[in-house]
Amino acid sequence: MNATTNEKNTATIMHLSTLSQYFIPFGNYFFPILIWAFKKDKSEFVDYNGKQTLNFQLSMLLYSLILLLLSVPILLYTIFKNISFSNFDGSDLIIREMSTANVSGIVIVAAIAALLFCFLKVMEFFLVIYAAVKSSNGQKYHYPLSINFLR
């Protein structure tokens, strides 16, 4: 595909605009959608890159939500499985059977969830940079692990 310099720059900015999530909440959705909405009808290259960018961001959101939905109940179960709620002393909850085995389980669940989330974010950062470089060279790039929500 022969993309013009303007198309390459627009696609590159669209990919890089997802990094705004580190400064502006939901900037990784807002800015690419804005750029894509204004330029998608004018360029097939920009349209393709916009769809790839948004598909990848939505996929990362889905993976993060799945990780959250799996880890939070496990973490809560691990914390509360041996707590007796029948023993209240005023406003304090007496935790009688909290052992180091339970605490280590909490730490393991929390550590795994944190590591997976960090891995997702680091992978996302580098893949966005890689996609921006590819689009600046006029090449089409498909993010790995990206679900095609927009076709």
Per-residue pLDDT tens for 122-134? 999 999 999 999 9
Kindly give the residue spans of alpha helices, DSSP state H, lying in 3-43: 5-17, 27-39
Q: What is the pTM of this model?
A: 0.81
> What are the pLDDT digits (tens) for 11-44?
999 999 999 999 999 999 999 999 999 999 999 9
Ordered DSSP codes for 32-56: HHHHHHHHTTT-HHHHHHHHHHHHH
